[in-house]
Amino acid sequence: MFTGDLIYIGTLFAYYPSTDPVKYLESLQRVAALPVEKVLPAHHDLNVPDTIRTDMEKAFLEIRTEGKLHHGSDTHDYGYFSVWL
């Protein structure tokens, strides 16, 4: 699966006014549910773990649960990726 700017290792820049964090989560949920053997992101390292889709989905769900799934809530670090809102 070519994930483009949706999924990649490093800092995800989701703070742009044109980026809707809730829609980002919805996209992650759709992608995480697909049967995929290999994820190929558009940025940084192409050698990403197989779990990146579900790891990112869980991270966004955690951010939402904390009430921080909105612009200006800081950078949320999850080890091999982070989410800049």
Burial class, 64, CB count within 10 angstroms (exposed 0-12 / middle 13-18 / buried 19+):
middle
Q: pLDDT (tens digit, 0 to 9) for every residue of the chain, 85 residues total?
A: 899 889 999 999 999 999 999 999 999 999 999 998 899 898 888 889 989 999 999 999 999 999 999 999 999 999 999 999 9
Query: Can you tell me the distance from the alpha carbon of 56 to that of 74, in angstroms, rounded to the nearest whole number?
Result: 16
Domain ranges for the chain, please list them.
2-84
Per-residue pLDDT at 37? 87
Give the predicted TM-score (pTM) of the model.
0.90
> Are the CB atoms for 27 and 5 separated by under 8 Å?
no
Query: Can you tell me the distance from the alpha carbon of 75 to that of 47, in angstroms, rounded to the nearest whole number?
Result: 23
Query: Can you tell me the distance from the alpha carbon of 49 to that of 65, in angstroms, rounded to the nearest whole number?
Result: 25
